[in-house]
Amino acid sequence: MARSHKKLDTLQAYLWTYLSPLRQAILFDFDLSRSRANLREFFPPDWQGVLQSDGYEAYESFLKDKPRILHAGCMAHLRRYVVEALEGGVQLDLVARLLSDIALLYRIETEAQEQALSPADRAQLRQRQSVPVLERLHEQFQRIAETELPQSRLGKAAAYALARWQTLTRYAEPSMGQVPIDQNSVERGIRPTKLGAKNWLYIGHPDAGWRSAVIYSITGTCKLLKINPVDYLTWVLTRLAAATSGQADGLLPHDYPATLPAA
């Protein structure tokens, strides 16, 4: 007897990732949609601060009626567009100058990191050194937009830069010393979800996706805090087993280091 198999319907799902560089915390949120509705559910209506993202349109749509939220762009994403132009083999000298200036911006950030500058001092360094480079880059992209075809790789790089210039340069504004030049820290946080993704391509149920997001949030935050996730989980699960719903305070990864004996 032949056995019939009914093909099950599958849905595509997403892990939205939020990272707070000041608090050293990363949070994954499982959702079946990539729409701005996820952002509306995540951020309280009265939240204010800086939201850094790539150029995905959902962020721009979400922020249209959020005047209290400042949008910061990602220089690494702009660099990728320029690298693609370099791989296209056109205007190599011009593309090399663009990449050289972007590399200079990153060297300034490395200098600030090596000196362990405060956000205020980092902002001053950027005003002195980064702003002139950004102004030069802006002029170069404006000239490219006037001379290159919009659909060429170099034309696309210029269009991406000019359409988002205010957000791309947000990090160099006087009061934005706490804002990174890019969102690579988020990209690094996402990497564990990508490694071996084919091994867990199907999760079976949305609840499993939510549980995965919780696990990724805990382990990712532990890594940011340079805490062994296994040590933290061993510590917290023992305490959660004896806690009531009203006794869960003080059990975050940020609370764990204070319980360790002094070195």
Q: Which of 58, 60, 17, 81 is nearest to 166 (CA)?
A: 60
What's the rounded Cα separation, in Å, for the pair 89 and 173? Answer: 34
Q: Cα separation of 163 and 95, whole Å?
A: 19
Q: What is the pLDDT of residues 109-148, one digit of tens each?
A: 999 999 999 999 999 999 999 999 999 999 999 999 999 9
Rounded CA-CA distance 251/256 in Å is 7
As separate numbers, helices (DSSP H) first and strands (DSSP E) second, the chain gives: 11, 4
Each residue's pLDDT tens digit, 152-205? 999 999 999 999 999 999 999 999 999 999 998 887 777 766 655 666 666 667
Is it the case that residue 74 has pLDDT exceeding 80? yes
Q: Point out which residues pair with 14 in neighbouring strands.
A: 31
Distance between CA atoms of 148 and 155, rounded to whole angstroms? 5
- Mean pLDDT, rounded, for 94-110: 96
* pLDDT score, position 4: 39
3-state secondary structure of 99: helix
Helix or strand (DSSP H, E) at 29: strand 25-31
Q: Average the pLDDT over 245-262 and give the result.
A: 85
Rounded mean pLDDT, 87-106: 90
Q: What's the mean pLDDT in 45-65?
A: 90
Q: Which of 237, 241, 192, 184 is nearest to 217 (CA)?
A: 192
In this prediction, residue 196 carries a pLDDT of 52
pLDDT band at residue 15 under the 50/70/90 scheme: confident
The string of pLDDT tens digits covering residues 30-43 is 888 888 888 999 99
Q: How far apart are CA 158 and CA 152, in angstroms?
A: 10
Q: Residue 73: what are its φ and ψ, rounded to 5°?
A: -90, -175
217, 27 contact by CB (below 8 A): yes
Say yes or no to pLDDT of 5 above 50.
no
d(CA 184, CA 207): 29
Confidence category of residue 103, pLDDT binned at 50, 70, 90: very high
Q: What is the mean pLDDT of the chain?
A: 88
The Cα 40–Cα 63 span in angstroms is: 10
